[in-house]
A and B are shown apart, each in its own frame.
Chain A
Amino acid sequence: MKSLLKAPLRFFGLLVQSILLALSQIWVNKTRSVLTTLGIIIGVGSVTAVIAGMNGMNAMIMENFEFFGTKKIFLWPERPQTGSQKNANWWQIRFQPEQFEGVLDHCPSVEYLTLISYPGSMTAHHGAHSLENVRIAGVEESWFKIENRSISRGRPFSFLDAQQARRVCIIPQKLQEKLYLDRDCIGQTLQFNHYTFQIIGIVEERPRAFFEGQGDRIEVYIPFRTAQSIRESWIDAMASCRSTDLAEEARAELTFFLRKRRNVKLGEPNNFGVFIMESEVMKVRALMAGLGLVAGAVVSISLLVGGIGIMNIMLVSVSERTREIGLRKAVGARASAILLQFLVEAVMLCLIGGLIGIGIGYFLAFLISHSAGFLEKSQVPGWAVVLAFGFSAAVGIFFGMFPAAKAARLNPIEALRHE
């Protein structure tokens, strides 16, 4: 047992000695050491800052996707480019509510589906106040779930509202303010053009994603069938998958289901479009990863240059200390001990450079997050610190190996004769 422990203990003792020696060596040559590690400092600093910046951008984009909803699926009728329906008119290929009956039973990956129709924009009146250009959207109850918008006051559409095409509406807070409605306006009536609607609920706004544009237009929600009863208009559909992992399956299920219901024959192209949000998220993720790779490649060049600087100074150090190496060998240092000493010195140099670099990286990340609003979430992630340290150590080992091996190979007699 004792002999088993001996070798690792011996190595550990030597390692501690080497680290102490390296630190004192670096301390003695402070200026030289700092200048030497400048490459590493800049390299690690820029890696850290770039990672933080990319992280910030990623967080911003992903947050916006979250606002918009990453589980969303859009469906719309589309005239195919080829096949027998190539020349069909738009009305022939429109979505019809019956085509979607039982869709949730046949598409297990789909959580919600709503039909949407827009009977047009109208002017809203309440007492003496009015607001033009209010967009009326006929939706089903599940629309609020897909859009993740909760009813802050009042109630959602009920089964009867939908079934009987009642003239009820859910309005956003903005409309409540613009028409100077009472705080509790549930049950009051509004005029949209000449149609009278009862307010049954007030829906919360959600933060808008940057790619949605400035939607100042106010939207009022009425039951889908009510909208159809006012005017039989164009129908779109929106669905959500149970999880983002199931997005592709949901797309396949919906495609299969709709082809059947819309009588698309085998071999014919779809007469509708399906768009899953998740595929956009994936594209952006891939783009960000690619950008990260390019940035990583660029900054790793500075690490390479830094490593060459380390190798250079270690070679100088070895030749300056040739006599010392000779003496150490004469008093019993093995080649491996000398190798370890110089390797540890190179690694320590790099780690110190890495440490300073990470500090600078944090500072840059702080600057980035405070200078650009859309990058405010720029933070240095933990793994980047580990990566930077690992990379520094690797550079030290890689570029320190050659000088250290040179030192270890020195012949003690010649080394002691060295001037």
Chain B
Amino acid sequence: MTDNSVLIRLQNIHRTYKVGSDTVHALRGIHLQVRQNEYVAIMGHSGSGKSTLMNVIGCLDRADQGTYEIRGIKTTVMSGAALARIRNEQIGFVFQSYELLPRLNALKNVELPLIYSNVGFLTRRKLAREALERVGLAARMHHRPNQLSGGEKQRVAVARALVAKPSILLADEPTGNLDTQTSAGIMDLFEKLYEQGQTIILVTHEADIACHARRIVRMQDGQILSDVPARQDPAWALIHGPSAEAKETGV
């Protein structure tokens, strides 16, 4: 029944939490499938539930209801330790504020996930070097975060996300702290990784960033508003002008 190319499958995902005495219904029945080598952007305003969705996809958070499978493995029934392992092996996180450890140099920052999968010292070094080369930072691997520019820091973070060869690269507003030019550099990097076969899920509220993806999922009030190829999303028209298809169909 399962299609091998389906990486993640969310069915009827609900998530509520309590803020003070209020109950916030952050996710209200999400259905979502992402296949191997897709490049998906999840868009939405703050409070739309996109961050919660990202946390659920990244196994940082658990749904209250519904099932979530990664590569056919149900995560909803897993223990904390098993979830940690999924995060370690299947997910590569990229955060808005990089989250590099200030006292470690780039290389050691990149090695971090491998420490928790108990990879030997030499292999760890080698994989971390390779990852840094992939993001074009081979020359700066012995620099500490405070010696790196914002764009470089984010590249280190991407290298760290990639080092364990995860199924999904999960990026949360990866360009949120960067200027336009640097952002473009990071988005080019993502494009390159996508072309190399990496599955990417991008969470953003910026239309121009979302338009780098091939598929855009829009969220509002904890529900999926639309889920279409990027070219059919209104954002595309906003950035690139009306697409050829849209002109033809007169949308």
Q: How far is A404 from B133 in the complex, measured between Cα atoms in Å?
A: 36
Q: How far is A10 from B81 in the complex, measured between Cα atoms in Å?
A: 14
A327: chain B residues within 8 A (beta carbon) = 99, 101, 112
Q: Which of A1-24 contact B (CB under 8 A)?
A: 9-10, 13-14, 17, 24
Q: Are B84 and A332 in contact (CB under 8 A)?
A: yes
Q: State the total of A-B contacts with C-beta under 8 angstroms.
A: 61
Chain A at the B interface: SS class: helix
Q: Which of A329-343 contact B (CB under 8 A)?
A: 329-337
CB of A31, distance to nearest CB on chain B (Å): 16
B115: chain A residues within 8 A (beta carbon) = 13-14, 17
A9: chain B residues within 8 A (beta carbon) = 118
Q: Which of A313-341 contact B (CB under 8 A)?
A: 323-324, 326-337
Q: Which of A9, A323, A413 has the most chain B CB within a 10 Å cutoff?
A: A413
Q: Are A332 and B60 in contact (CB under 8 A)?
A: no
A386: chain B residues within 8 A (beta carbon) = none
Given contacts A14-B118, A333-B116, contact A416 B95 (CB under 8 A): yes
Residues of B participating in the A interface, judged by any CB pair closer than 8 Å? 55, 58, 60-61, 80-81, 84-85, 87-89, 93, 95, 99, 101, 103, 112-113, 115-118, 160, 164
CB of B85, distance to nearest CB on chain A (Å): 7
Q: Are A332 and B101 in contact (CB under 8 A)?
A: no
Q: Are A332 and B80 in contact (CB under 8 A)?
A: no
- Which chain B residue has the least Cβ–Cβ distance from A324? B101
A14: chain B residues within 8 A (beta carbon) = 115-116, 118
CB of B153, distance to nearest CB on chain A (Å): 13
Q: Are B116 and A337 in contact (CB under 8 A)?
A: yes
Residues of A participating in the B interface, judged by any CB pair closer than 8 Å? 9-10, 13-14, 17, 24, 28, 323-324, 326-337, 412-413, 416
**Considering the complex of A and B, which 9 residue pairs feature the smallest CB-CB distances, nearest first?**
A332-B88, A331-B113, A334-B84, A332-B116, A327-B99, A334-B81, A10-B118, A332-B87, A13-B118
Q: Are A331 and B160 in contact (CB under 8 A)?
A: yes
Q: Which of A10, A334, A337 has the most chain B CB within a 10 Å cutoff?
A: A334
Q: How far is A326 from B172 in the complex, measured between Cα atoms in Å?
A: 15
A28: chain B residues within 8 A (beta carbon) = 103
Q: Are A328 and B112 in contact (CB under 8 A)?
A: yes
Q: How far is A331 from B99 in the complex, measured between Cα atoms in Å?
A: 11
Q: What are 15 A-B pairs at a CB distance below 8 A?
A: A9-B118, A24-B103, A327-B112, A329-B84, A331-B87, A332-B84, A332-B88, A332-B164, A333-B84, A333-B116, A334-B84, A334-B116, A337-B116, A412-B60, A413-B61
Q: How far is A10 from B84 in the complex, measured between Cα atoms in Å?
A: 15
CB of B81, distance to nearest CB on chain A (Å): 5
Say which residue of A17, A323, A331 sits within 8 Å of B88 (CB atoms).
Answer: A331
Q: How far is A335 from B61 in the complex, measured between Cα atoms in Å?
A: 14
Q: Are A330 and B118 in contact (CB under 8 A)?
A: no
Q: How far is A338 from B53 in the complex, measured between Cα atoms in Å?
A: 25
B61: chain A residues within 8 A (beta carbon) = 413
A336: chain B residues within 8 A (beta carbon) = 81
Q: How far is A336 from B80 in the complex, measured between Cα atoms in Å?
A: 10
A24: chain B residues within 8 A (beta carbon) = 103
Say which residue of B60, B81, B103 sits within 8 Å of A413 (CB atoms).
Answer: B60
Q: How far is A335 from B85 in the complex, measured between Cα atoms in Å?
A: 11
- Which chain B residue has the least Cβ–Cβ distance from A336? B81
Q: Are A332 and B81 in contact (CB under 8 A)?
A: no
CB of A244, distance to nearest CB on chain B (Å): 58
A413: chain B residues within 8 A (beta carbon) = 55, 60-61
Say which residue of A10, A324, A330, A337 sits within 8 Å of B93 (CB atoms).
Answer: A330
Q: How far is A326 from B164 in the complex, measured between Cα atoms in Å?
A: 18
Q: How far is A379 from B186 in the complex, measured between Cα atoms in Å?
A: 66
